[in-house]
Amino acid sequence: MTEGEIVIDDIKKDAETRMQKSFESLQNNFKKIRTGRAHPSILDAVMVEYYGAQMPINQVASVNVEDARTLTVVPWEQSMVPKVEKAIMTAELGLNPASAGNVIRVPMPMLTEETRKGYIKQARQEAENTRVAVRNVRRDANHEIKALLKSKDITEDDERQGEDDIQKLTDKIVGEIDKALESKEHDLMQV
């Protein structure tokens, strides 16, 4: 491998890492868009005040699925029940927890057709934002490759091959984004 090919290889690896991070971010955002089914990851964004510090809910309580439409949250300390319940209510997830003793039950409200369409629109927007981020990474990588050509560190053939590889990587990640969106839309439309 020539020095130019090594540099192009580094650019491709960096682009792939950045594109993969964008895709992982999309997957995390999709977890926050709730479907009609109960899943512990719905509460991942909930932060609870624990002795003066904000902690993720899964560090102060166990979150489990009781049935298809109900989560149970059991704080590890009895005194935390009201704080955890309040944190779930104020997390803007549209959930109304109810505590019985030291167990907090979180029923998942039925999604109306209008709500489902709103969530699908939100999911599509998240996917489009991720596609734009991936394309920006492609643009940056191609710009770096063109700069190498301009400074005569690589040949035109190396440039063409590098840009082709970056495009293939972009197409692969955009395909993964489209599959994830299709899967999320399918989940949202199930009653």
pLDDT band at 191 (very low <50, low <70, confident <90, very high): low
pLDDT in tens, 107-139: 887 778 888 888 889 899 999 999 999 999 999
CATH superfamily of 3-34+112-190: Ribosome-recycling factor (1.10.132.20)
The answer on pLDDT for 7 being more than 90 is no
Q: Could you tell me if 54 and 48 are in contact, meaning their C-beta atoms sit under 8 angstroms apart?
A: yes
Name 49's Cβ contacts closer than 8 Å, sequence gap at least 6: 55, 83, 87
pLDDT band at 20 (very low <50, low <70, confident <90, very high): very high
pLDDT in tens, 140-150: 999 999 998 88
Q: Could you tell me if 93 and 107 are in contact, meaning their C-beta atoms sit under 8 angstroms apart?
A: no
Considering 55-69, 148-162, 169-183, the range whose residues carry the highest mean pLDDT is: 169-183
Q: If one looks up domain 40-107 in CATH, what number appears? A: 3.30.1360.40
pLDDT for 106:
86
Q: Which two tokens stand for residue 97?
A: 């927890």
Q: Which residue has the tokens 């699925």?
A: 65
pLDDT in tens, 42-59: 787 788 888 888 888 888
If you average pLDDT over residues 81-87, what whole number do you get? 86
If you average pLDDT over residues 4-14, what whole number do you get? 87
Q: Could you tell me if 31 and 44 are in contact, meaning their C-beta atoms sit under 8 angstroms apart?
A: yes
Residue ranges of E strands in the chain: 47-50, 53-56, 61-67, 70-75, 98-100, 103-107
- Domain range annotation of the chain: 3-34+112-190, 40-107
